Amino acid sequence: MISADDFYKVMCAMVPLYFAMLVAYGSVKWCKIFSPEQCSGINRFVAVFAVPVLSFHFISQNNPYEMDTKFIVADTLSKLLVLVLLSVWAILFKGGLDWLITLFSLATLPNTLVMGIPLLNAMYGDFTQSLMVQLVVLQCIIWYTLLLFLFEYRAATLLIKNQFPGSTAASISKFEIDGDVISLDGRDPVRTESEIDGNGRIRVRIRRSTSSAPDSALSSSMGITPRASNLSGAEIFSVNTPAPLHEYHNGNADIAFGNGDLGFGYRSASPRLSGYASSDAYSLQPTPRASNFNELDTTTITTTNTPFWVRSPVAGKVYRQQSPAFSGVRMVWESPGKCNGGGGERQGCKDVVGEREISFRDSSKFPVAEEEDPKATATGQDMPRTHVMLRLILTMVGRKLSRNPNTYSSVLGLLWSLISFKWNVGMPSLVKYSIKIISDAGLGMAMFSLGLFMALQPRIIACGTKRATMGMGIRFICGPILMSAASIAVGLRGVRLHAAIVQASLPQGIVPFVFAREYGLHPDILSTGVIFGMLVSLPVTLLYYILLGL
């Protein structure tokens, strides 16, 4: 039975965290103390320093040689059970990969680091801190990597379907990715250049469109001076809503682009505007400021009878007109530099391909539908061989993880704990207290950052009542039920079983929302799960705590 002292102890642990979140919310929403630009700086500190250092602090102090095997197996089994059930549902009932990823994130990935450690410590004692840290390690190293793999697989599939329709993709033998392509999430424009060898096999090179040839006809004809983007290491909070994705209209070959001073899909030409939405909390993408450098990468050739671009009298319209002499032209190869001539190599050449050849080049952001229609996409679309796709996705996942400070903090913390507890080596005092001074502020700053994020959103429930109800049901009901079933199946009993169930009822984790926002997959549902889930989680976890204590 839960006593009044136990309840008060839990409230003493939770109220300070919610107080930090409330202060941040009020300082932006009501008092207007912080501007969006200042919120961006605060969240940058939280994502790059506070949360990674906090994660390193907890992981490095946890003894990996005394891990609770049953607790870890129960947590792993519950996540695998969810993944299997969703996979069966997606295959048999045409649920689709999109919803599989979203529902898996909602059901299995709670905010264990920020909310779980203090809450479970107050409810069930100090031993739960070690349990929560073990789950944090698994989340950072295994489950977030798996989630990122699914997102990149989806992005690669959309890219291939967009640029290699039908059976063409089956002939792809290799993908070559430029070093500045960090992800296929579609936030940065990408282009592909392809070569076909004598055996009909296709080699595809993926590049950022902003790294293409600077002598684009559109830029030169409009008198635009290219200005290189400044790519900083991480963008945590954004200030401005990004311009909408390019709209494509097949009829009459007209292409309508997003808003901006030029009406061609560029953001406003005024300098130094962020291109990220305010929902990019904890995002670790490179931060391109507004740039007019070849974002709309058009194709030209140097002869007179070529397709060319002209500006419509209607603002924001660009028309691609075919030359009468070359009405059958479908695709133009383009690379920077000069053509090298013979030898079968086409570095820097611009070749015109006939009407029946397939276009392998797309310099714009590929359109990403919010919800993929499985019936429409499953017919007549082949994919490259498994090892080709696997290499592409693993390359993208590795580059994405290499830009995430939490990856380094988790791995370094685990390595230090393995060394420290194996040979009884203590951390030097200078390093220990340097880390401690930042980690002590980590929890409060993480909750403060969440408050800023909530205040900058136009609505707390961004996805509508129906989807919000579905998300909350999956997060706070289905997740704990599956966790309890897995825990009982592996023989978990007593306080550890209670801790496992309460941990599964924590609010939605931040990282799945960041991925959803970056890849454009149901970010409104995950945003509602983070914001509204934080408000609902306190009474829900207390209810579980009371019921389990009866």
Lowest-pLDDT choice from 52-61, 342-351, 508-517: 342-351
Q: Residue 511: is it exposed, middle or buried by C-beta count within 10 angstroms (0-12/13-18/19+)?
A: buried
Of residues 135, 74, 81, 128, the one with CA closest to residue 545:
128
Q: Within 424-455, where are the H helices?
A: 429-439, 442-455
Average pLDDT over residues 148-164: 92
Residue 89 domain-assigned?
A: yes
If you count DSSP H runs as helices and E runs as strands, how many of each does the chain have, helices first? Answer: 19, 11
| CB-CB contact of 237 with 453 (8 Å) | yes
pLDDT in tens, 70-129: 999 999 999 999 999 999 999 998 889 999 999 999 999 999 999 999 999 999 999 999
Edge-first strand listing for the sheet containing 172-177: 172-177, 202-208, 190-196
| Structural domain of 436 | 4-162+381-548
Measure the CA–CA gap between 128 and 134, rounded to whole angstroms. 10
Whether the predicted pLDDT of 317 surpasses 50: no
DSSP state of 365: P
Residue 354 domain-assigned?
A: no
- Give residue 210's pLDDT: 56
Q: Residue 282: which H helix or E strand, with range?
A: none
More confident position, 52 or 316: 52
| CB-CB contact of 62 with 113 (8 Å) | no
pLDDT in tens, 367-383: 444 444 544 444 567 89
- Give residue 359's pLDDT: 31
Whether the predicted pLDDT of 336 surpasses 80: no
| CB-CB contact of 76 with 138 (8 Å) | yes
Q: Structurally, how many domains does the chain consist of?
A: 1
Signed CA dihedral, 261, 262, 266, 270: sign only: negative
Residue 291 domain-assigned?
A: no
Rounded mean pLDDT of the chain?
A: 76
DSSP state of 186: S
Of residues 320, 311, 317, the one with CA closest to residue 256:
317
What CATH number does the domain containing 438 carry? Answer: 1.20.1530.20
Lowest-pLDDT choice from 214-228, 386-400, 439-453: 214-228
Q: How many CB atoms lie within 10 A of CB 269?
A: 14
Whether the predicted pLDDT of 282 surpasses 60: no
Residue 301 domain-assigned?
A: no
pLDDT in tens, 351-368: 433 333 333 333 334 444
DSSP state of 348: T
State the SS3 of 16-78. Answer: HHHHHHHHHHHHHHCCCCCCHHHHHHHHHHHHHHHHHHHHHHHHHCCCHHHCCHHHHHHHHHH
Residue 357 domain-assigned?
A: no
Residue 170 domain-assigned?
A: no
Residue 238 domain-assigned?
A: no
3-class secondary structure, 227: coil
Whether the predicted pLDDT of 545 surpasses 90: yes
pTM of model > 0.75: no
Residue 68 domain-assigned?
A: yes
